[in-house]
């Protein structure tokens, strides 16, 4: 694949997420745009698009062609290569993979931050993902576990303030009791955005998808 040159606008397009379906059109995971194009380029996947109310599938070559000739609709994003502009797909389908989705939400930093809506669970302020850390509510040194129910999103300031203490010792209070999410919090957050409308055709915010 040609190297993708992108401008500022392209940066946003590259940070988008792409829903991956298995061969049976079941949503199985979410990948970034680079990964999606990698799969398309190797012909492991095809683009699923719904334009003018009609579903269609495109292999990589057809998609490139369609992207350069088709008009842009609202919420479309494009990446630019020399001489080409390729529309960022929202949904792709793995043409050879028919295994079914994983059932458990992955326990990782990204999903913790999404579960807590990128909001510090002590001061209640919203931050970008890089300005947040994760805090052990009961510190590890006091036997606190590294689990959904003991880890929360926390800003650097509150993290420093709390130190190795329990919230009440630091006179801090959690916004809400942390719990294990029943569905993938990243998908639940994304599916509310207009540009991911197509995802609703294949999954609901309650789906368990691997990230
Ligand atoms: Zn805070």
Residue range(s) of every CATH 1.10.30.50 domain in the chain: 109-162
118: left (phi over 0), alpha (psi -120 to 50) or beta: left
d(CA 127, CA 26): 33
Averaged pLDDT, 172-187:
88
Under a CB-based contact definition with an 8 Å cutoff, are residues 13 and 77 in contact? Answer: yes
The reported pLDDT for the residue numbered 1 is 46
What is the 163 CA–ligand 1 centroid distance (Å)? 12
What is the 127 CA–ligand 1 centroid distance (Å)? 9
The per-type count for the chain, helices as H runs and strands as E runs, is: 6, 9
Report whether pLDDT(187) > 90.
no
d(CA 147, CA 158): 20
What is the 162 CA–ligand 1 centroid distance (Å)? 10
Residue 129 half-sphere exposure toward CB, CA atoms < 13 A: 9
Q: What is the dihedral of CA 158, 162, 166, 171, to 10 degrees?
A: -80
- What is this structure's pTM? 0.66
* Fold of the domain built from segment(s) 109-162: DNA Binding (I), subunit A (1.10.30)
Averaged pLDDT, 163-183:
93
Report whether pLDDT(184) > 90.
no
What is the 94 CA–ligand 1 centroid distance (Å)? 41
pLDDT digit string, tens, across residues 110-144: 889 989 999 999 999 999 999 999 999 999 999 99
The reported pLDDT for the residue numbered 17 is 92
What is the 131 CA–ligand 1 centroid distance (Å)? 10
What is the 30 CA–ligand 1 centroid distance (Å)? 29
Bridge-based pairing of strands 91-94 and 17-21 is parallel
What is the 123 CA–ligand 1 centroid distance (Å)? 4
Please identify which residue in the block is written with the tokens 């992207």.
67
Under a CB-based contact definition with an 8 Å cutoff, are residues 152 and 135 in contact? Answer: yes
d(CA 100, CA 80): 34
DSSP letter (8 states) at residue 5: B
What is the 133 CA–ligand 1 centroid distance (Å)? 10
Give the containing element (helix H, strand E) for 13.
helix 8-14
Report whether pLDDT(161) > 80.
yes
Query: Please, where are the H alpha helices in 98-183?
Result: 109-115, 156-162
């Amino acid at each position: 694949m040609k190297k993708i040159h992108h401008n500022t606008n392209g940066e946003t397009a590259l940070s988008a997420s792409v829903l991956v379906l298995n061969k049976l059109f079941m949503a199985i995971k979410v990948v970034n745009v680079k990964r999606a194009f990698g799969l398309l380029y190797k012909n492991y996947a095809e683009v699923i698009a719904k334009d003018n109310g009609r579903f269609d599938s495109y292999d990589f070559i057809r998609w490139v062609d369609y992207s350069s000739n088709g008009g842009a609709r609202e919420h479309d994003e494009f990446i630019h290569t020399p001489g080409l502009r390729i529309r960022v797909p929202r949904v792709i389908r793995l043409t050879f993979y028919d295994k079914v989705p994983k059932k458990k939400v992955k326990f990782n930093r990204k999903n913790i931050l999404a579960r807590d809506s990128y909001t510090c669970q002590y001061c209640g302020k919203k931050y970008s993902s890089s300005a947040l850390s994760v805090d052990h509510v009961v510190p590890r040194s006091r036997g606190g576990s590294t689990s959904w129910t003991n880890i929360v999103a926390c800003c650097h300031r509150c993290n420093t303030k709390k130190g190795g203490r329990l919230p009440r010792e630091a006179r801090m209070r959690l916004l809400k009791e942390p719990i294990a999410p029943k569905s993938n919090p990243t998908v639940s957050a994304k599916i509310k955005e207009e540009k991911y409308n197509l995802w609703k055709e294949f999954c609901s915010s309650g789906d368990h998808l691997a990230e």
